Structure 1
C-alpha cells in the first residue's frame, strides 16, 4: 500500500507540470501524502470513520436529557470487525486489581508464577474489598499514544483523537476544552467486575467517560452490565454490552460493571477511556 501511494505521488508531481491542473493536483497530493503518513505511523490500512447513517442531531438531543447517550453502530461493520479481531486475538491483557490496597497489574506469566497461596490471598482480598463496594478485577491493555504496536487499535486510537471525533464530542457535551481521548482495551471474564464509582479526575481533567463495546451476541444474564446509580446508591437503569456500540456519559455519573457470571460464554470486550481537557 505504501509503494502504491508513492507511485501516485510521483504521478501527481508529473501532472503538476500542467498549470491548469495544478490546484486540483496539489489538493490530491496533500490527501495522498496524509494517507501515506498515516500508514507509516500506524502500519494499518484500517481507516476508522463514523457510520454514514449516524443521526448526530438526535444523539446530541438525547445526551442533553441526562448527560449520557448510547450510540448503536458507531462505525461501519467491516471496521468494527477488524477492531474486534485485534481485541480478541492480539491484545496482551494484564490482570488489573487492587493488591495491598493499591492498583496493580499482572501479566499472564506473572500470575502463573505466583504460588497458589498468594493467588488465594489476592482472590480473598479482592472479594473482601468488593463486599465493601471497593475494587475491581478485569483484563486491561493500555493503548499507547506514541507508537501503539497493534495496528488496528492504533488506528482506532488515532481516530478517537481526531478533530472529527473531538469536535463532535465538544459540541454534544458543551465541554469546549476537550483536547484528547485516552484509551484502553478491556476484557472481563467470569468472576470479574468493577465496583461502583465516578470517573472524575482533577489532574487529567476528565469530562466524559466512554465504553466502545465489542461483545457480539452478549446475553444480559451473563452480567457485565454498565449499571448506573442515583447519588444515594439506588440502582437506575443498566446497559448491556453490545457490538460496535458506544456508551458515553458525564464523568459524574455513578456507575459500575456488574459481575460476570460463571456461565458466560464469551469475554466482555471493549475499548474504554475518557475525553479530557489535558493532552495525553
Structure 2
C-alpha cells in the first residue's frame, strides 16, 4: 500500500538529529533467533535519533487515514474526516468493520517515508531515516541477521494506530516486489498489553498467535511470507501506537 495523497509537513529545528545504530547489538544471538523462528525483536536498535523521531511524528498534523476498500484504498486527511460529519463517518466506520469480518481489512493513519532516491529533506526527519535504513550500517545488520544481502528497503511508511484501528491477517507477499524481510520499528512509549495494537504472528490453522506489545526503539524483523496482523486498539489507550514499517527487498541476481 502506497500513499498517494499530497502531503505537507511541519518543519522542526530538531530534525537534523542524526540516526546511529546501537553498536552493542548481539548479532550472533539475533541471527540464531531469526534462523530458528523466522523473526526477531531487536531492543534498543538506535543509539541516537529515536526520541527525536518520536517527538517529530507526534507533532505532525498531516497524517492520512488509510482504509482498505474495494477497487482502491480510501485516503482521508484529518481535515477531510472532520468535514464528513459524525453520521457520515460513522457509516464509513461500520463498513470498515463489516468488511473486516470476512476478509482483508485495515484502518490506520500513515505518512509515506520518502524514497532514498528523493532529495534529502532534514525538516521531515523521515527523509534522513530512509537514508539510514538504506545505509551500510543497517544493510549490514540485516545481512548479519538474515544471512542474505538485502538489495534495498521499499514502501516505507510511518503508521499511527488510534482507537478502533486494526490490520487483519496477511503475509506481505507481493508479486514482483521480491520482499525478503519485513520490519516494524516501534516508537511507542508506555503502552499496556490491554490496549491492543499487538503485532500478532499467526499460528497453525489460525488457532494460536504470538503477540508482541508495542515498545519504543525496537525493531521487529521477520521473513516474508509470514501471516501476521495488528489487533484492534482499545478506547482505553492513552495515545496512538507509533511505528515505521517497510520491507527489505532481495538483492537482484
Give me the TM-score of the superposition, normalised by structure 1: 0.78
Check if 1:267 corresponds to 2:250.
Answer: no
Query: d(CA) in 2 for partners of 1:211 and 1:252?
Result: 15
Partner of 1:144: 114
More helix by share: 1
More strand by share: 2
Local SS of the residue matching 2:214: coil
The question of whether the paired residues in 2 share the 8 Å contact of 1:91 and 1:141 is answered with no
Q: Deviations over 1:132-182 (max 9, x none)?
A: 142011001111111464432222111001122113212321333533343
Query: d(CA) in 2 for partners of 1:63 and 1:88?
Result: 31
Query: d(CA) in 1 for partners of 2:180 and 2:207?
Result: 23
Check if 1:245 corresponds to 2:200.
Answer: no
Q: Which runs of 5+ in 1 are unaligned?
A: 1-42
Query: d(CA) in 2 for partners of 1:71 and 1:152?
Result: 22
The question of whether the paired residues in 1 share the 8 Å contact of 2:169 and 2:229 is answered with yes
| Cα 1:95/1:151, change in 2 over 3 Å | closer
Query: d(CA) in 2 for partners of 1:91 and 1:68?
Result: 33
| Cα 1:278/1:141, change in 2 over 3 Å | farther
Q: Which runs of 5+ in 2 are unaligned?
A: 1-13
The question of whether the paired residues in 2 share the 8 Å contact of 1:227 and 1:235 is answered with no
Partner of 2:141: 168
Q: Please, what is the CA RMSD of the aligned residues?
A: 2.0
Equivalent positions of 1:173-212 (< 5 A) are 173-212=146-185
Query: d(CA) in 2 for partners of 1:61 and 1:151?
Result: 36
Partner of 2:229: 256
Check if 1:219 corresponds to 2:170.
Answer: no
Please state how far the C-alpha of 1:231 moved relative to its aligned partner: 4.3
Q: Deviations over 1:88-120 (max 9, x none)?
A: 112621001023453221111221222544323
Please state how far the C-alpha of 1:200 moved relative to its aligned partner: 0.7
Please state how far the C-alpha of 1:234 moved relative to its aligned partner: 2.0
Please state how far the C-alpha of 1:247 moved relative to its aligned partner: 0.4
Give me the TM-score of the superposition, normalised by structure 2: 0.86
Greater relative contact order structure (CA < 8 Å, 6+ sep): 2
The structure whose Rg is larger is 1
How many residue pairs are counted as aligned between the two chains? 236
Query: d(CA) in 2 for partners of 1:44 and 1:190?
Result: 28
Please state how far the C-alpha of 1:58 moved relative to its aligned partner: 1.2
Equivalent positions of 1:52-63 (< 5 A) are 52-63=23-34
Partner of 2:129: 156
The question of whether the paired residues in 2 share the 8 Å contact of 1:160 and 1:181 is answered with no
